[in-house]
Amino acid sequence: MKNRGFADVLIGLQYGDEGKAKVIDLIAKNYHIIARFNGGANAGHTIETEKFRVALHQIPSGIFYKDKILYIGSGCVVDISKMIEEIGMVEKLGISLKNRLYISDQTSIVQPHHVLVDIHTAGKIGTTKNGIGPAYADKAMRMVNGRHVNIKLGELIDNPALFDHIKKNLERKIEKHNATGYEVTKIIDTLKKDLKNLMPYVQRDTLFLQKLVDGGKNVLFEGAQSIMLDITKGLVPYVTSSSTVAGAAFVGGDLPVNYHRKTIGVAKAIMSRVGNGPFVSEFGGKKSEEYCKDPTHNKNYEKQNYDTYKMLASDNQFDVGVALRILGNEYGTVTKRPRRIGMMDLVQLAFAVKTNGVDEIFLTKCDLLVDFIKTKSKKIPVVSEYILNSKTIDYVPGSNTLYAKVKVKTTDFESFTEDLSKITLWGKLPKQLLTLLGAIEEKTGCGFLGIGVGSKRKQFILEQKG
């Protein structure tokens, strides 16, 4: 097809919250369509413009470009009521989604019982409690005792009798978990009303996206949750329940693989993770993991109880992590939980780049690296080597038990004092930072698209090529 468009894929390379939405907002102008292919309301994609700060959960991040089409692919799971709420929130900002937002009628619905089950069972993993895991589990179950447990959006529109299955699914789980406070009839009535309101956004043509691309439109696939949380490639059970890797865009995004052009990976200069599971570069290790499980250790608590700069200069790695969290404002968009903080892990990053065929990296939050000048060593530490059974390895092991045996070696890079948010050209970046960026390029074998130097829309620097 002569004028056929193409699809690029943007994914997170670490544990989520790398600032993917900000990068999408930056490059969306190069595309006609921004499309989601995995996950649901567990994502928290924040964009900050001159006027607004918006946290999107289910709607793709191209909302601020009025001419962009926003597509939610069949690999996603949709919470109808939360979607209506989110559409309302975006429209309140004066941004219309009519004839712009299209949801595949093959997306599976996150039903009320999925959220109930997630709330009652997912503590050990530390999920976002949006019902995502139970929804994907039921997608595979399909039917239980004659009840449809996987219900697709289009199917529910065409066959309203399925509301009865949704009701029974909820009643069974209320009974099983002894849950209280659920007004079942009211919940189902609200769902019926919300589905009616969602109808104009539901796309019934299963070739919709492909036809647009065949007609010359270009797509940017927006990954949610990031590759270390992938259901297959990540370390189970500490993962999300969908496929987050680049290749998944061409399953959940409703486009064949041969439309792919390039993959952009987003990583964060100081790493973070929410929820439980391995994180070998974490400041303060186990102590930090345990501490961050307590949701009361939120932003207000930490600001009120800690002397940030004293902790930053401490000998104790846990303290350094707390200080970097406060300075980086690293609290969950969805759950408000404190995010666990860690050094950049070059072995993990190189592995992520290799396994996903990443063509360009965008490194966000580089401005925060300036904080290391106020640490005791005044250096930027990064994980540079994994050692397993006295041998250097270049991969992230496939089991939690093996990963726990990995010893990490760190390398210290010189820090800098310059305020990066004042710099606009790559060549003007402090030489210490350019050295660190060079080391990342060497280790990953991948060049940069650019770096982020602040939370505002214009705070980025693109690498000059050639």
* Among 17, 25, 105, 371, the one annotated catalytic: 17
CB-based contacts of 434-437 (< 8 A; 24+ apart in sequence): 436/369, 436/380, 436/382, 437/363
Q: Does 126 bind ligand IMP (CB under 6 A)?
A: yes
| H or E element, residue 192 | helix 184-198
| H or E element, residue 167 | helix 162-177
Q: Does 56 bind ligand IMP (CB under 6 A)?
A: no
* Amino acid identity, position 368: L
**From the list 5, 19, 44, 75, which residue makes contact with ligand IMP (rule: CB under 6 A)?**
44
Q: Does 81 bind ligand IMP (CB under 6 A)?
A: no
**From the list 241, 281, 356, 432, which residue makes contact with ligand IMP (rule: CB under 6 A)?**
241
What are the DSSP E strand ranges found in 100-142? 101-104, 108-109
Q: Does 223 bind ligand IMP (CB under 6 A)?
A: no
Q: How far is 18 from 265, CA to CA, in rounded Å?
A: 10
What are the DSSP E strand ranges found in 187-259? 202-203, 219-222
Q: Does 110 bind ligand IMP (CB under 6 A)?
A: no
| Region binding ligand IMP by CB under 6 A among candidate stretches 3-11, 88-96, 127-135, 402-410 | 127-135
Instruction: Provide, rounded to whole angstroms, the least separation between the CB of residue 189 and ligand IMP.
Output: 27
Q: Does 444 bind ligand IMP (CB under 6 A)?
A: no
Residues between 356 and 415 that touch ligand IMP (CB under 6 A): none
Q: How far is 361 from 41, CA to CA, in rounded Å?
A: 26
Residues between 2 and 31 that touch ligand IMP (CB under 6 A): 16-17
- How many angstroms separate the first and last alpha carbons of the chain? 32
Q: Which residue in 403, 377, 401 sits closest to 388, CA to CA? A: 403
Q: Does 169 bind ligand IMP (CB under 6 A)?
A: no
**From the list 10, 13, 43, 47, which residue makes contact with ligand IMP (rule: CB under 6 A)?**
43
**From the list 108, 111, 203, 225, which residue makes contact with ligand IMP (rule: CB under 6 A)?**
225
| Region binding ligand IMP by CB under 6 A among candidate stretches 40-48, 320-328, 372-380, 402-410 | 40-48
Whether 17 sits among the annotated catalytic residues: the reply is yes
The C-alpha angle with vertex 332 and arms to 328 and 52, in degrees rounded to 5, equals 75
Closer residue to ligand IMP in complex, CB, 16/154: 16
Q: Are 230 and 224 in contact (CB under 8 A)?
A: no
**From the list 73, 133, 223, 252, which residue makes contact with ligand IMP (rule: CB under 6 A)?**
133
Q: How far is 348 from 345, CA to CA, in rounded Å?
A: 5
Q: Does 104 bind ligand IMP (CB under 6 A)?
A: no
If phi over 0 gives left and psi between -120 and 50 gives alpha, with beta otherwise, what is residue 406? beta
Whether 45 sits among the annotated catalytic residues: the reply is yes
Residues between 269 and 328 that touch ligand IMP (CB under 6 A): 274-275
Closest residue to ligand IMP in the complex (CB): 275
Q: Does 130 bind ligand IMP (CB under 6 A)?
A: yes
Q: How far is 43 from 40, CA to CA, in rounded Å?
A: 6
Q: How far is 278 from 56, CA to CA, in rounded Å?
A: 27
| Region binding ligand IMP by CB under 6 A among candidate stretches 87-95, 119-127, 141-149, 188-196 | 119-127
* Among 8, 25, 45, 57, the one annotated catalytic: 45
Q: Does 240 bind ligand IMP (CB under 6 A)?
A: yes
Residues in CB range of 340: below 8 A, 6 or more apart: 272, 273, 274, 279, 282, 288, 289, 292, 321
**Could you tell me how many residues of this chain bind ligand IMP (CB under 6 A)?**
19
Closer residue to ligand IMP in complex, CB, 154/321: 321
Instruction: Provide, rounded to whole angstroms, the least separation between the CB of residue 319 and ligand IMP.
Output: 24
Q: Which residue in 279, 276, 280, 278 sits closest to 290, CA to CA? A: 276
Q: Which residues bind ligand IMP (CB under 6 A)?
A: 16-17, 42-44, 125-128, 130, 132-133, 224-225, 229, 240-241, 274-275
Catalytic residues: 17, 45
